[in-house]
Amino acid sequence: MEKQKRLKNSRYITGFDGIRSLAVIGVILYHLLPTSMKGGFLGVPIFFVVSGYLITDLLRQEWEQNGKINIWQFYVRRMKRLYPGLVFLLVTASAYITLFQRGLLNNLRGVVLSSLFYVNNWWQIDNGLSYFDRFANESPFTHIWSLAVEGQNYLIWPILFVLLMVFVRKKNWIFYTIMGGAIASAILMMVLYTPNGDPTRVYYGTDTRLFSIWMGSALAFIWPSTRLKKNIPKQAKKVLNLAGGTSLIALILFFFFLDDHSNFVYYGGLFLVSLLCMVLVAVTAHPGASLNKCLTNPVFTWIGKRSYGIYLYQFPVMIFYEAKVSGIADHVLLHMTIEIALILIISELSYRFIERPLARFDYGRTFGVVKGWFTKPIISRQKPWVVPGTLVVIIALVGFVTAPKNAVTADQKQLQQNIAESKKLAEKSQKDQEKTSHSVDQAVLDKYDLTKAQGEKAQQLELTAFGDSVMLDAATDLKELYPKVVVDGDVGRQLYTSEPYIEELKKRDLLKDTVLIGLGTNGSFSESQFDSLMQAIGDRKVYWVNVRVPTKRWQNEVNAMLAEMEKKYDNMTVIDWYDYSNGHSEWFYDDQVHPNPDGMTNYIHLVSQALLGGSENKQAASSDETSNVLESDSRTSE
């Protein structure tokens, strides 16, 4: 194999490890503390800009030194750098899923193959998977979309680089050409983005995310690292330091305050963040500025060198951990610390024993190395990993080969059937509203432990039930007791995407004077987002069911927010489903969130005590007496 000539004047910019550290810390905290670090997702475009700059700067150095680019060697270097960690993740995670979390076997082949060929972002788009769905269908491989975007760029970029150097030649014109392409990509994001909708298509799409990478690439032509001089005028140094410090502070502020569902993000916000990162990269790369020293320290160096592995393993660790450990919402800091520790430990082991050794390995020796395994004892002190490693690979292959396209547990299957039936009933409730009431069956009153007077009131009540999959799943029971109810629920629905649906119900005269809401299962929300939804609802009486999501850290945040909002809005009553159902795991399916038939009976009883007991009694919904009555009934029925 032809060896790559070492670039003569290449310099390692230690401050880039600091930038990578900030980026990966932002991403991890975005997933662990989505309310506090709501803009942590911006770590990804920061990675993109740094990657674009470094790759193009190295290609430029190679072109200047050799007069050509060895495209094949470029691909080999990228594969050796990225593939070992990715393959290790896919194999070990697949083996774990096969043994311990078979509910995640869904589409495993598609995930693995799309990841290996760097098309995972398009695969997720094609399969309707959302990056912002943090509860339903959450996958340990969701984050691989960004590696796919980079991988696709790596495939085409050296070819485009050569074409630009041959046909455009002048560095300034190359800069303008690349920036033109970046601007076109950002404009396409604006065109394809649907305000207040799920932004996954523009968030995942290579065509709408390339601008960050290309902006870094453009910078490399006008700001080459090897031509920057250390000795510069004091005034120039001050300007550089001011620009770099300002961009760094602005990016950190965006980490805390820029919401991923803000329209601004997709109407130029990500482009602005990429511009700020261009400035940050430019100043960090300049040896005459002070920012490189500020971003260089042992902690940042350690994290930065392992940032690829940390990014790779963070999501699987979170998903696997949160699926097996209960009570996360009640001990957020403790579990967050454990998860971060696990991520760092696994990343360190991967860096030492997988990524770094295989990045330096001469793959021309592969046949000889493998042959040596079979000419010497398989089990030896020199190769203690061979047998367990082989077992892990075999288990992963079993999962890969046997994984059905839609593998579900019995509980999941039942829940899916319930939701599908409820969806049909909800649609029917909007089309065929009952205008008259009828006498309520005594068996129905007994089922929900209601009085005859409450039953008669339920027959007359014009009610709109709006929410996520928990509310949708309640459609059948609601319709049984409230014949005039209009149900509008959807799987994965978030509060901040709900306003257009409320407006649509108003236009169709389906938003009744009494509104029952169940939102917050899938993620938290801000006070301004809540206010916006309440303004859309108007002065109607709102009954809001709080949430039970014990495996998710936003549970307590959502419930605390709802308690505060109840004080703020006179027309709002919180129904305390969390407190009422606490300690009753037998009321729920395996996901610990969706009520099973027994749990749904208790859910409807609780809701009805609020709806039918009078709006003046806000605490009736969570009384201990009511809880004891239904608990006694449940035991009797057993």
Q: What token pair was written down for 636?
A: 């009797």
For the ranges 58-72, 194-208, 304-318, the lowest mean pLDDT is seen at 194-208
* Residue 627 pLDDT greater than 80, yes or no: no
- Closest CA relative to residue 473, chosen from 593, 585, 562, 558: 593
For the ranges 54-63, 218-227, 359-368, 482-491, the lowest mean pLDDT is seen at 359-368
Per-residue pLDDT band for 411 (boundaries 50, 70, 90) equals low
Per-residue pLDDT band for 365 (boundaries 50, 70, 90) equals confident
Per-residue pLDDT band for 1 (boundaries 50, 70, 90) equals very low
Mean pLDDT for the chain overall: 88
User: Distance (Å, rounded) from C-alpha 240 to C-alpha 229?
Assistant: 13
What kind and span of H or E run contains 545? strand 541-545
User: In angstroms, what CA-CA distances link 126 with 122, 123, 315?
Assistant: 6, 5, 21
User: In angstroms, what CA-CA distances link 66 with 62, 219, 266, 496, 563?
Assistant: 6, 22, 41, 54, 67
pLDDT mean over 89-100: 96
* Residue 277 pLDDT greater than 60, yes or no: yes
User: Distance (Å, rounded) from C-alpha 281 to C-alpha 53?
Assistant: 8
pLDDT mean over 554-559: 92
Determine the pLDDT at residue 151.
Answer: 97
Helix, coil or strand: residue 523:
coil
For the ranges 16-25, 422-431, 561-570, the lowest mean pLDDT is seen at 422-431
Say if residues 339 and 381 touch (Cβ distance below 8 Å).
no
User: Distance (Å, rounded) from C-alpha 452 to C-alpha 439?
Assistant: 10
User: Distance (Å, rounded) from C-alpha 296 to C-alpha 14?
Assistant: 6
- CATH number for the region 408-610 comes to 3.40.50.1110
Per-residue pLDDT band for 629 (boundaries 50, 70, 90) equals very low
For the ranges 117-121, 138-142, 236-240, the lowest mean pLDDT is seen at 138-142
Say if residues 42 and 102 touch (Cβ distance below 8 Å).
no
Determine the pLDDT at residue 187.
Answer: 99
* Residue 5 pLDDT greater than 70, yes or no: no
pLDDT mean over 122-144: 82
Determine the pLDDT at residue 387.
Answer: 79
Per-residue pLDDT band for 2 (boundaries 50, 70, 90) equals very low
* Residue 410 pLDDT greater than 80, yes or no: no
Per-residue pLDDT band for 435 (boundaries 50, 70, 90) equals low
Determine the pLDDT at residue 329.
Answer: 84
Q: Where in the chain are the domains?
A: 12-400, 408-610
* Residue 632 pLDDT greater than 50, yes or no: no
pLDDT mean over 344-355: 97
- Helix spans in 432-538 (H): 442-448, 452-460, 469-473, 475-481, 499-507, 527-537
Say if residues 37 and 26 touch (Cβ distance below 8 Å).
yes
Residues 6+ apart with CB under 8 A from 197: 497, 500
CA 333 to chain centre: 20
Say if residues 224 and 57 touch (Cβ distance below 8 Å).
yes
What kind and span of H or E run contains 541? strand 541-545
- Closest CA relative to residue 506, chosen from 529, 537, 546: 537
- Helix spans in 11-134 (H): 15-32, 43-66, 71-100, 108-116, 120-126
3-state SS of the chain: helix, strand, coil percent to 5? 70, 5, 30
Letter for the amino acid at 15?
G
Determine the pLDDT at residue 4.
Answer: 53
CA 254 to chain centre: 18
* Residue 622 pLDDT greater than 80, yes or no: no
For the ranges 76-90, 177-191, 549-563, the lowest mean pLDDT is seen at 549-563
Determine the pLDDT at residue 156.
Answer: 98
Determine the pLDDT at residue 294.
Answer: 95
State the catalytic residues.
469, 591, 594
Say if residues 521 and 562 touch (Cβ distance below 8 Å).
no
Eight-state DSSP code of residue 436: S
What are the strands, taking DSSP E only, across 302-346? none
What kind and span of H or E run contains 612? helix 597-612
- Helix spans in 223-233 (H): none
Q: What token pair was written down for 48?
A: 């993109």
Per-residue pLDDT band for 362 (boundaries 50, 70, 90) equals confident
Determine the pLDDT at residue 261.
Answer: 81
For the ranges 396-400, 491-495, 633-637, the lowest mean pLDDT is seen at 633-637
Helix, coil or strand: residue 357:
helix
* Residue 171 pLDDT greater than 60, yes or no: yes
* Residue 510 pLDDT greater than 90, yes or no: yes
pLDDT mean over 454-468: 94
Determine the pLDDT at residue 381.
Answer: 55
pLDDT mean over 277-304: 97
pLDDT mean over 452-467: 94
Bridge partners (DSSP) of residue 572 are: 542
Percent of the chain with pLDDT over 90: 71
Determine the pLDDT at residue 561.
Answer: 96
Per-position DSSP letters for 367-398, written without gaps between them: HHHHHHHHHS-SS-SS-TTHHHHHHHHHHHHH
φ and ψ at residue 53, rounded to 5 degrees: -65, -50
More confident call, 635 vs 59: 59
Bridge partners (DSSP) of residue 464 are: 486, 515
Bridge partners (DSSP) of residue 515 are: 464, 542
Q: What token pair was written down for 537?
A: 């609802």
- Closest CA relative to residue 543, chosen from 562, 517, 570: 517
Tens-digit pLDDT profile for residues 607-619: 999 999 843 344 4
pLDDT mean over 92-114: 92
* Residue 595 pLDDT greater than 50, yes or no: yes
Percent of the chain with pLDDT over 70: 86
pLDDT mean over 472-478: 93
User: Distance (Å, rounded) from C-alpha 175 to C-alpha 595?
Assistant: 57
How far is the first Cα of the chain from the last one, in angstroms, to the nearest whole number?
72
Determine the pLDDT at residue 636.
Answer: 35
Q: What token pair was written down for 348?
A: 């360190």
Bridge partners (DSSP) of residue 463 are: 514
Eight-state DSSP code of residue 181: H
Helix, coil or strand: residue 587:
helix
Per-residue pLDDT band for 370 (boundaries 50, 70, 90) equals low
Residues 6+ apart with CB under 8 A from 549: 135, 329, 521, 555, 558, 592, 593
User: In angstroms, what CA-CA distances link 63 with 7, 20, 56, 143, 225?
Assistant: 10, 26, 10, 34, 14
- Closest CA relative to residue 7, chosen from 59, 72, 47: 59
Residues 6+ apart with CB under 8 A from 490: 468, 469, 472
- Closest CA relative to residue 33, chosen from 255, 262, 270: 255
Q: What token pair was written down for 597?
A: 């038939």
Determine the pLDDT at residue 189.
Answer: 98
Q: CA-based Rg of the chain, rounded to a whole angstrom? A: 28
User: Distance (Å, rounded) from C-alpha 238 to C-alpha 245?
Assistant: 10
pLDDT mean over 288-308: 97
